[in-house]
Structure 1
């Protein structure tokens, strides 16, 4: 049981390409020095990538159950394994706000392409998506992404207020009337407090006139100062950065991603879990100058999206185990992942008896020895020491 208190198309497959000295296959089977000692406090986290409700998916929901969860409900078991589960909601959930940023009021649960849209690079979802995600087990969402201003400032305001009514924390953006509100949230589970902060590389050219969005690169001193300050607080056991960054449809992280990920970790973060490229990019263990073993997931790919081709239909639920001994900061004791894949209008978990092409594609970016079967016990899998895997 989870314990919580208080995120015409061309079909092709993208082959992963990266330098052997950084992402050789051995280094993808990650291992950590911290033991899984049940005398310490242990918690588990889960992360998914882009949640992007394209037109065909949205129309299937309107014609069907009128709950967005009909798309991803078969993966709910993966999410509910973890103590804290996080996703990236790509687009506003702003009741009645049209493409010009005007408030049309509640027009019902419809898809009209004007108020609620999943195409033409302008997205807005009925706020029911927030309650559907919470009911599926999500504890926090990052809304800092290139579509966050698709309904302008009002879209952010309405999304935040709708999430607040549900007691669903969101990070990376703030209400226009709350100019000093934080871009982060702290979530407590069991005896740990985990801080989450979201940022985006860009907003598709839409100006952030009211300083509502936290940017990853535009003012690096700002986010680095936040990370240093929050992570140094005695009550914060670990800090997670959720950046929306990188080049779309390429499985190779850019130099800027690599550089900033390491800066965030050196500043005090424990994890960097990215989104935006719509395809998977590799994960990497990184040891900071002060000896902390950290994790970078450059891109978790699409979780929900209407795009085509194996690389754009495959994603992962990434898992991280944290251990806290006494008053020390939490440390990573294990990581794992379960692949997901969209077929038609549904997302499915992928196990060892499923598509070999999906499994091979994901293994090329996340290794094969940390894959967790959909029905597998999470804590047991994260605690397991895998034969043939050395501490990198």
Structure 2
């Protein structure tokens, strides 16, 4: 099974590399023709504005997908700049629903798809500092280029965005403060419609919260864990894909100052120092959706095992009816535990798009893929990876893969990861 999985990814990458020039030439030719036509149509009195906006976005989106990842960033941005409009987004966030409500329904899914949802969970991501420098040098899509086939295949992606977003430079005074310029969000733009960020972490408010939220909303990204008031910060992202419904919550047990907590009348973050603060928002969704998912920022950096408070919080969440408990913050992979037919914990997913660490253990990482049906977790897969100089390497070498798989197996009690990354639930 290992060969078929790895070979499929490698073959797909090779095909894309062989065809990039042809796709680029034909794609650009087609887009330029349409762009010229739309430029004149947009100047015609009485043209439907909403339809024009949708067409403009689709053309820009196709340009982004057609251009090869190897294209220099300056040329990439220049070609996009030739289009007679600024980049638009196709997502709108009505005041009644806010940015955490999905309009995706099972009717929009492929009718031939079985009732199952492939969701990919990623650890900590930030696109500033050295990561931004590498993206400027090698292209906006460079860090994820080896994971692109997998990211394209899955139905849903949930990731921790461990940085504020904006250009104000108004940073909190602390040892490490991150603010990512909005243009670096282009890294995740190909997956924007199926991606949910959690901003509940110890860097999500390094810059002004309102600036971060506005930047993400303007770019059309969904997020949880941060809001303009307490209710919004704890609000879930709710959706249904392929007949499987879900509600995703984000909350942090690690914040630098108490003022980061969202209040009734001021913006801030969802926190979980007191379990009840999260449970009161989670419980109403239990039974309303197939899966209640909590993505938590917790634990101790570089630790092998969770803290006692994490185990107590995990137990409280499962007793309340939560299905998936996903964690980050330690910057290293920790245990996976398969708690029941619809219950799974990942204590820490480590780093993903992140600065290379001086500690090799923090550079060893992976993506967690779960296949969910309405009644059970059908499949759990670990995709071993390594952070290296801005690139998230998809590991194919057996020796490198074993280094990460053996760590997870050593730390996990109810799960064993096979050589191909497939997880088996151990009986007790």
1:193 aligns with 2:245: yes
Separation in 2, partners of 1:5, 1:209: 28
1:202 aligns with 2:254: yes
- For residue 232 of structure 1, report the CA deviation from its aligned partner: 3.0
Structure 1, residues 82-128: CA drift from partner, whole Å, max 9, x if none?
A: 21111100011123342269xxxxxxxxxxxxxxxxx9410000112
Instruction: Report what 1:335 is aligned to.
Output: 380
Q: What is the DSSP-based 3-state SS (H/G/I as helix, E as strand, rest coil) of the residue aligned with 1:351?
A: coil
Match of 2:354 among 287, 305, 315: 305
Q: Name which structure has the greater RCO, CA cutoff 8 Å, separation 6+.
A: 1
Do the aligned partners of 2:250 and 2:270 also contact (CA within 8 Å) in 1?
yes
Separation in 1, partners of 2:234, 2:301: 28
1:89 aligns with 2:139: no
Alpha-carbon spacing, 1:209–1:313, altered in 2? closer, same or farther (3 Å)? closer
> More deviation in 131-140 or 293-302?
131-140
1:47 aligns with 2:47: no
Alpha-carbon spacing, 1:336–1:150, altered in 2? closer, same or farther (3 Å)? same
1:264 aligns with 2:317: yes
- For residue 293 of structure 1, report the CA deviation from its aligned partner: 4.0
Alpha-carbon spacing, 1:95–1:370, altered in 2? closer, same or farther (3 Å)? farther
Instruction: Report what 1:58 is aligned to.
Output: 132
- For residue 333 of structure 1, report the CA deviation from its aligned partner: 1.9
Instruction: Report what 1:139 is aligned to.
Output: 195
- For residue 182 of structure 1, report the CA deviation from its aligned partner: 4.6
Instruction: Report what 1:232 is aligned to.
Output: 287
Gaps of 5+ in 1: 7-37, 102-118, 325-329, 374-380
Instruction: Report what 2:142 is aligned to.
Output: 70
Separation in 2, partners of 1:190, 1:57: 35
Do the aligned partners of 1:148 and 1:203 also contact (CA within 8 Å) in 2?
no
Structure 1, residues 156-211: CA drift from partner, whole Å, max 9, x if none?
A: 222222222333210111125x8656531112212222110000012212622652
Separation in 2, partners of 1:304, 1:203: 21
- For residue 53 of structure 1, report the CA deviation from its aligned partner: 3.8
Instruction: Report what 2:410 is aligned to.
Output: 364
Separation in 2, partners of 1:370, 1:359: 8
Separation in 1, partners of 2:405, 2:391: 18
1:149 aligns with 2:205: yes
Count of aligned pairs? 311
Match of 2:392 among 347, 356, 359: 347
Do the aligned partners of 2:239 and 2:247 also contact (CA within 8 Å) in 1?
yes
Q: What is the DSSP-based 3-state SS (H/G/I as helix, E as strand, rest coil) of the residue aligned with 2:116?
A: strand
1:314 aligns with 2:364: yes
**TM-score normalised by length of structure 2:** 0.66
- For residue 224 of structure 1, report the CA deviation from its aligned partner: 0.9
**TM-score normalised by length of structure 1:** 0.71
Q: What is the DSSP-based 3-state SS (H/G/I as helix, E as strand, rest coil) of the residue aligned with 1:41?
A: coil
Instruction: Report what 1:29 is aligned to.
Output: none
Q: Which structure has the bigger radius of gyration?
A: 2
In angstroms, what is the RMSD of aligned CA positions? 2.8
> More deviation in 294-303 or 131-140?
131-140
1:129 aligns with 2:184: yes
Alpha-carbon spacing, 1:190–1:249, altered in 2? closer, same or farther (3 Å)? same
Instruction: Report what 2:152 is aligned to.
Output: 80
Separation in 2, partners of 1:181, 1:314: 31
Instruction: Report what 1:279 is aligned to.
Output: 332
> More deviation in 362-371 or 239-248?
362-371
Do the aligned partners of 1:317 and 1:337 also contact (CA within 8 Å) in 2?
yes
1:166 aligns with 2:240: no
Do the aligned partners of 1:310 and 1:358 also contact (CA within 8 Å) in 2?
no
1:255 aligns with 2:308: yes
Separation in 2, partners of 1:252, 1:271: 18
1:294 aligns with 2:313: no
1:214 aligns with 2:270: yes
Do the aligned partners of 1:149 and 1:206 also contact (CA within 8 Å) in 2?
no
Separation in 1, partners of 2:277, 2:145: 38
